[in-house]
Amino acid sequence: MRYRTVASYAPAAAALLVLAMPTGTAQAATGTFFYHEQPGDLERSLTNPADNTCFNLGNGGGRISNQTNRVANVYFQSNCSGGIFGFFNPGDNGTLPEYHSVRFTEFPP
């Protein structure tokens, strides 16, 4: 009777392990984030936005409706700088006088 050594199975075991590991793909919110751009109070939206990515909103101001499954962290300045002006949990609606960028996260700040 022949016995194979463990070393002969190592490459196959490593290949199976790589296939079984989850991929590092980015997560995304599911749903739509609605906001308004000024002047003109034009409704805009972001659908299924990626997590932890900053989205510039132009001259945002007015109503916001977060119909995603993530928290929307709304910033006073562009490029998600200048501190969070407000955050909207999934399903929240509200109004902010001015905002310029948003980032979606799984949890509030």
Query: Residue 98: which domain range?
Result: 31-105
| Domain CATH code at residue 39 | 2.60.20.30
For residue 15, being part of any structural domain is answered with no
Which ranges of 21-82 would DSSP assign to H, the alpha helix?
A: none
Q: What is the pLDDT of residues 33-57, one digit of tens each?
A: 999 999 999 999 999 999 999 999 9
For residue 26, being part of any structural domain is answered with no
Q: Name the DSSP letter for residue 50.
A: B
- Give the mean model confidence (pLDDT) for residues 19-30: 60
Residue of 93, 92, 73, 90 lying closest to 82 (CA atoms): 73
For residue 85, being part of any structural domain is answered with yes
User: Which band of pLDDT confidence, cut at 50, 70 and 90, is reported for residue 5?
Assistant: low
Residue 102 gets the label, from left (phi > 0), alpha (psi -120 to 50) or beta, of beta
For residue 52, being part of any structural domain is answered with yes
Domain count, the chain: 1
For residue 22, being part of any structural domain is answered with no
Residue of higher predicted confidence among 99 and 19: 99
Q: What is the pLDDT of residues 66-96, one digit of tens each?
A: 999 999 999 999 999 999 999 999 999 999 9
